C-alpha cells in the first residue's frame, strides 16, 4: 500500500451546477506520494466541491483530474475506489451496522462480484481495526459510538480499502480539541498520501506538508504552508484581520480579529 507511487493532478478544474455559475474555477494543483494537502478557505469557498472533483464524485465541466497521468473519468469508478478512499462527514449512523461491518465495507471495491469476503478482506479489516485501536469496539453498533470513535471507524474503513490516497472532508468536525489533535496525529502517523479540508488554519499549518487556499471558488495559493499561509492571504480570503507569529520551533500560529 505504501510503496506505490502516486500523482494526482487537477488541471484547470471548473465545476458549477447545471445552468448555474461555476462554484470552483480553473483549479490546478497536484499531490504526490506522501504529501498531506490541506485545503482551507471560508464557508462556501468551494472546498467540498473541489474534493468531489478530486475523488471522482462529480465530473469537472472544464479541466481534468488525472491519476498518474490518466483522466480519472477514464479509469472507472471501481478502480478509482480501489485507489482513492473517501471519508466524508455524512456517516452511516442510522443503519444497524456493527463497527466491523462498517470497516469491512472498505473492501467492497476489492470484492469479486457477489463472492464471499476473502481471507484478504478479513485480514485487511482486522489490520485496520487494530491500527485504529478499535478491536474492542468491533461488535458495537456504529450508531452507538461517540463522534471521535465514529471518525476513527471511518478512517479504519478507508484503511481497509488499502488505497493509495485518502481524501477527507473536515475530519475534525464535531470533535473537541483533544480529539482533533488525536485524529490529525493519527492521520499523520499513517504515512499515507492525504488530501483533507480543514477549517482550523493553525491545525492545517501543523498537519499539512502542502496547503491550498480557496477564495470564492478560486485558488489563491498552493504550496508549502510557510510560503502560502501569509497574514495577507488569510486576511483577504477570510475577511478578517489575521496576524502570524512564528513560534520557537519555527511553527506558525495565527490569531484573528474582525476588521
List residues binding ligand ATP (CB under 6 A). Answer: 17, 20, 23, 41, 43-49
Our CB check for ligand ATP shows the closer of 20 and 113 to be: 20
Q: β-pairing, 218-223 with 210-215? A: antiparallel
Q: Helix (H, G, I), strand (E, B), or coil: what is residue 217?
A: coil
- 40 backbone φψ class: left, alpha, beta (φ>0; ψ -120 to 50): beta
Report in angstroms how near the CB of residue 39 gets to ligand ATP at its nearest. 8
**DSSP bridge partners of 10:** 29, 65
CB nearer to ligand ATP: pick between 45 and 168 = 45
User: Least CB distance from residue 16 to ligand ATP, whole Å?
Assistant: 8
Residue 49 or 172 having the CB closest to ligand ATP: 49
CB of residue 99 vs ligand ATP: minimum separation in angstroms?
27
Nearer to ligand ATP, 182 or 200 (CB): 200
Cα gap 21→131, rounded to integer Å? 43
In the complex, the smallest distance separating the C-beta of residue 17 from ligand ATP, rounded to whole angstroms, is 3
The percent helix, strand, coil of the chain (3-state, each to 5) is: 35, 25, 35
169 torsion bin: left (phi>0), alpha (psi -120 to 50), beta (else): beta
Which residue's C-alpha cell is 445552468?
19
**Radius of gyration in angstroms for the set of CA atoms belonging to the chain, rounded to a whole number:** 19
Residue written as grid cell 493553525: 202
CB of 202 to ligand ATP, least distance (A): 17
* Bridge partners (DSSP) listed for residue 241: 257
Segments in 23-118 forming alpha helices (H): 47-54, 77-83, 99-104
Q: Which is nearer to ligand ATP, 45 or 160 (CB)?
A: 45
**Closest CB to ligand ATP among residues 48, 98:** 48
Least Cβ distance, residue 15 to ligand ATP (angstroms): 9
Contact (CB, 8 A) for 84 and 51: no
Amino acid at each position: 500500500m505504501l510503496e506505490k507511487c502516486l500523482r494526482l493532478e487537477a488541471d484547470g478544474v471548473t465545476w458549477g451546477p447545471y445552468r448555474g455559475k461555476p462554484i470552483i474555477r480553473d483549479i490546478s494543483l497536484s499531490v504526490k506520494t506522501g504529501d498531506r494537502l490541506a485545503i482551507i478557505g471560508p464557508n462556501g469557498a468551494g472546498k467540498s466541491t473541489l474534493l468531489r472533483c478530486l475523488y471522482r464524485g462529480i465530473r469537472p465541466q472544464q479541466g481534468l483530474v488525472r491519476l498518474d497521468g490518466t483522466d480519472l473519468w477514464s479509469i472507472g469508478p471501481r478502480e478509482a475506489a480501489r485507489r482513492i478512499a473517501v471519508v466524508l462527514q455524512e456517516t452511516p449512523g442510522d443503519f444497524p451496522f456493527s463497527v466491523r461491518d462498517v470497516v469491512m465495507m472498505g473492501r467492497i471495491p476489492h470484492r469479486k462480484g457477489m463472492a464471499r469476503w476473502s481471507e484478504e478482506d478479513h485480514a485487511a479489516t482486522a489490520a485496520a481495526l487494530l491500527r485504529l485501536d478499535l478491536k474492542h469496539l468491533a461488535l458495537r453498533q456504529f450508531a452507538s459510538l461517540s463522534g471521535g470513535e465514529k471518525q476513527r471507524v471511518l478512517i479504519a474503513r478507508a484503511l481497509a480499502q488499502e488505497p493509495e490516497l485518502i481524501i477527507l472532508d473536515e475530519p475534525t468536525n464535531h470533535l473537541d480539541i483533544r480529539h482533533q489533535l488525536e485524529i490529525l496525529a493519527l492521520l499523520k502517523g499513517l504515512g499515507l498520501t492525504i488530501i483533507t479540508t480543514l477549517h482550523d488554519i493553525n491545525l492545517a499549518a501543523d498537519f499539512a506538508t502542502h496547503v491550498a487556499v480557496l477564495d470564492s471558488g478560486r485558488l489563491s495559493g498552493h504550496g508549502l504552508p510557510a510560503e502560502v499561509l501569509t497574514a495577507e492571504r488569510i486576511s483577504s480570503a477570510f475577511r478578517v484581520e489575521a496576524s502570524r507569529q512564528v513560534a520557537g520551533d519555527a511553527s506558525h500560529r495565527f490569531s484573528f480579529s474582525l476588521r
